[in-house]
Amino acid sequence: MALVGCGSAVPAASITNQQLSERVDTNDEWIRTRTGIRARRIAGPSESLTCLASRAAQAALDHAGWSPDDVDLILLATSSPDDLFGTAPRVQGTLGARRAVAFDLTAACSGFLFALITASQYLGSGTMKRALVIGADQLSRWVDWDDRSTCVLFGDGAGSVAVEACGAQDNGLLGFRMRSDGSRNGCLTLAQLDKHAPLLGELTAQRGGFAPIQMNGQEVYKFAVREVPAILSELLEATGTAPEQLDWLLLHQANQRILDAVADRFAIDHSQVLSNLALYGNTSAATIPLMLDEAVKDGRVQPGHLLASSGFGAGLSWGAALLRWQGPTD
């Protein structure tokens, strides 16, 4: 599978730490020093998840030089769909990608990486040729804006990568690992409310609706700084890759302290750690493709560059992939 295009989209409105401190008991200094976040984008009424995901996917389509009819598969990684029955078909409709099958995949902040790996299986088996993989989230819908321990962390956004089947010499997914640990699910949840309404006689029916995001920040932090280096080590060893061979670390953007800790574990210079947390906060499934698009478009990531990527978060779930960026082919 070759990575031949990318795109991203973020809402227009940005909220700084200072602005947030007018709403909830927090301050810029705490948020900056504990997380690295300075601002986040928040979707307005005309910026649905479908809209952001479609804009990101259209940009990836254009970058790859494809037409909508070239696309066989659209995979949308999200935990904040517009429609629980699936938002990917809405994106497919918006793009006019009539031949593509489109479906959602949910694995929280690991979602984009899991979706990219899933797409690679369809392309590698020869059943499909071209896919758009999207990571998009609008967690502003699901945070409790009065809970300072979570609301300062998240933002909205979308990113997408165009991938196509290729020969072994152009392969851009050199190895991967994926993990889940449901025994630690309670550390980070956006869970269905336990609300039941009378139906008939003694019978009740559960009502739909979700409780705001709840997180044990310290537990998730410890999980990330333990598991991300471990899974990356395993992957580098399995692929015979030395950390010095990496051009970039492309990690899920949750906390600058996590990014730095992972880099230090591999003695990778902090200048090789891609980070845009300061501007966008944690956009969940969107962070990795949003970051990749920025670094490709500003010329930091060049064709042939090797990137070690890792996503981690609710589930708990985590994964890693060794990627080689190719960019648009003529």
- Interacting residue ranges for ligand UT7, rule: CB under 6 A: 26, 30-31, 34-35, 109, 148-149, 152, 217-218, 220-221, 224, 254-255, 258, 282, 313
- Examine the residue annotation and report whether 151 is marked as an active-site residue of this protein: no
Closest approach, Cβ 250 to ligand UT7, in A, equals 15
The answer to whether residues 10 and 158 touch, using CB atoms and an 8 Å cutoff, is: yes
The answer to whether residues 26 and 84 touch, using CB atoms and an 8 Å cutoff, is: no
Query: How far apart are the C-alpha atoms of 283 and 257, rounded to whole Å?
Result: 17
- Examine the residue annotation and report whether 305 is marked as an active-site residue of this protein: no
Instruction: Look at the chain and count its residues.
Output: 330
Token look-up 């044990």 returns: 216
Within 8 A by CB and 6+ apart from 271, the residues are: none
Element (H, E) at 255: none
Nearest residue to ligand UT7, by Cβ distance, number only:
217
Closest approach, Cβ 218 to ligand UT7, in A, equals 5
The catalytically annotated residue of 63, 166, 255, 282 is: 282
Query: How far apart are the C-alpha atoms of 265 and 255, rounded to whole Å?
Result: 16
221 versus 241: smaller Cβ distance to ligand UT7: 221
Q: Which two tokens stand for residue 148?
A: 């300072």
Closest approach, Cβ 146 to ligand UT7, in A, equals 11
26 versus 48: smaller Cβ distance to ligand UT7: 26
124 versus 217: smaller Cβ distance to ligand UT7: 217
* Residue 280 CA: distances (Å) to CA of 171, 228, 284, 287, 305: 30, 21, 11, 9, 24
Closest approach, Cβ 167 to ligand UT7, in A, equals 36
Closest approach, Cβ 184 to ligand UT7, in A, equals 12
Query: How far apart are the C-alpha atoms of 290 and 263, rounded to whole Å?
Result: 20
b/e sequence 295-312, b meaning 16+ C-beta within 10 Å = bbeeeebeeebbbbbbbb
The catalytically annotated residue of 17, 51, 187, 252 is: 252
Q: Which amino acid type is present at position 21?
A: S
Closest approach, Cβ 289 to ligand UT7, in A, equals 15
Q: In 3D, which of 251, 288, 255, 290 has the Cα closest to residue 273?
A: 251
Closest approach, Cβ 152 to ligand UT7, in A, equals 4
172 versus 313: smaller Cβ distance to ligand UT7: 313
Query: How far apart are the C-alpha atoms of 183 and 186, rounded to whole Å?
Result: 8
- Examine the residue annotation and report whether 252 is marked as an active-site residue of this protein: yes
282 versus 326: smaller Cβ distance to ligand UT7: 282
Q: Which amino acid type is present at position 125?
A: S
| 75 upstream amide cis, omega within 30 of 0 | no
Query: How far apart are the C-alpha atoms of 39 and 179, rounded to whole Å?
Result: 31
Element (H, E) at 313: strand 306-313
The catalytically annotated residue of 109, 151, 166, 187 is: 109
73 versus 254: smaller Cβ distance to ligand UT7: 254
149 versus 189: smaller Cβ distance to ligand UT7: 149
Which residues are catalytic, by number? 109, 252, 282
